[in-house]
Structure 1
Amino acid sequence: MSDVRQGTRLLIVGPPGSGKGTQAGRIADEYGVPAISTGDIFRANVKNETPLGVQVKAIMDAGDYVPDSLTNELIEDRLGQPDAERGFLLDGYPRTAAQVEYLDSLLASKGESLTAVVQLTADLDEIVERLRKRALDQGRSDDTEEAIRHRQDVYLRETGPLISEYEGRGILVEVDGLGTIDEVASRIDAALAARGIRPTAAA
């Protein structure tokens, strides 16, 4: 029996256009944990003009990437808040090997670890077609197929090592991200249930 504290600590990853944001919100509601997105954290801190937010704004205004050290600080602060005590769903973090190491250390210091990593997978050509259609519907003619494919390449390059790491730990849960929102949601729930992870109402 593990001495790791009970709780549902999840990470969701998926290529742009896979519906990751939609599924993240649904999972968080269903499993009774906060959805924690790095983008949301950045925006909230900038809006509230916190000391960390001031640093983030200066970096983003200069067109630079927020460094790991600052991102880690923001995540640690967010995970230390009361609503994250019984678990969380991370979206957009970790993105680098250094961030994986930091998150491992942070959770271990509390006697915790990630419960599972949900990876939404999808055929590249189908995602490109979906995003091209969305861009046309929204009148975004600058969102070309070339630009969309570039974002997919960046995603694969960034997340490849992370996915391999979590697969090696045996906590990666692959789910087909194509289909209706409800279809994908059902697949996620079934895949998590197979590992003994169930919504709060069914726990």
Structure 2
Amino acid sequence: MRIVLLGPPGSGKGTQAIRLAEHLAIPQLSTGDILRCAVAAETSIGKKVKTAMERGELVPDELVVAVVAERILQADAKTGFILDGFPRTVGQARALDDMLRTRGLDLDCVLELKVDEEVLLGRILNRAKEAVGNGQSARTDDTEEALKVRLKEYRRQTEPLIDYYCARGMLKSIDGLQPIASVATSLLEALDA
């Protein structure tokens, strides 16, 4: 199965992607992880990504798509994958569609975690509190101010993907405010439907 997992920051995408990946025996492909691996591997694309990151710039869409394309060709992704954090824009979604099509592939499903933005703040602040309580560092973006910026960017760049995939009949929305296990069950049921 080839799956895209959408949802605003703090919606539980990472948690659910890991659970789905384990259940379906396919890799969870986090864009941030893929970019960092490409940089560490010093691939030609990784070197270009590193230059952009060192300048503090957003990595251009064509480089992000190229890095994702390299990653999904690896052996562990042959039977499928879960994209977490990609695509972020309609432009990236179109590039992903084109790239998959050239390989005779297509996405099987796009899953959206729907959550109330008011609840997200509590989740984010709780995540930071739990990290500190466990002797770990809280994520630097787990603050009210950072969440507001991230949500604004999500609404501007990523939310249009909901209409894009809905128009293609691929979108399945799940209530992301349920308990973690219930969300996981709902995601699996949506995939089976």
Q: Does 1:32 align with 2:32?
A: no
Q: Deviations over 1:47-81 (max 9, x none)?
A: 22222222211111110011111111111111212
CA distance in 2: counterparts of 1:89 and 1:130, whole angstroms: 23
CA distance in 2, matches of 1:18, 1:100: 20
Question: Which of 15, 32, 38 is residue 45 of structure 1 equivalent to?
Answer: 38
Cα distance, 1:171 vs structure 2: 0.7
Q: CA RMSD in A?
A: 1.8
- TM-score by structure 2 length? 0.89
- The equivalent residue for 1:121 is 114
| Alpha-carbon distance, 1:97 to partner | 2.2
Work out which of the residue numbers 104, 108, 112 in structure 1 matches 2:97: 104
What letter matches 1:155 in structure 2? Answer: Y
Larger displacement relative to structure 2 (120-129 or 145-154) = 145-154
AA at the equivalent of 1:71: V
Whichever of the two has the greater Rg, that structure is 1
2:173 aligned residue: 174
Match of 2:76 in 1: 83
**Deviation readout 1:94-119 (Å, 9 max, x if unpaired):** 12222112111111122221111010
Give the corresponding residue for 1:135: 128
Alignment match, 2:66: 73
TM-score normalised by structure 1 residue count = 0.85
The answer to whether the aligner puts 1:163 opposite 2:165 as a matched pair is no
Alignment partner of 1:60 is 2:53: yes
Identify the range of structure 1 (94-103 vs 115-124) with the bigger mean alpha-carbon deviation: 94-103
C-alpha separation in 2, matches of 1:142 and 1:182: 25
**Shift of residue 35, structure 1, vs aligned partner:** 1.2
The percent identity for this pair of structures is 44
Relative to structure 1, the CA distance from residue 32 to residue 146 in structure 2 (aligned partners, 3 Å threshold; closer, same or farther) is same
Q: Which amino acid aligns with 1:92?
A: G
1:153 aligns with 2:152: yes
Q: Secondary structure of the residue that 1:158 maps to in structure 2?
A: helix
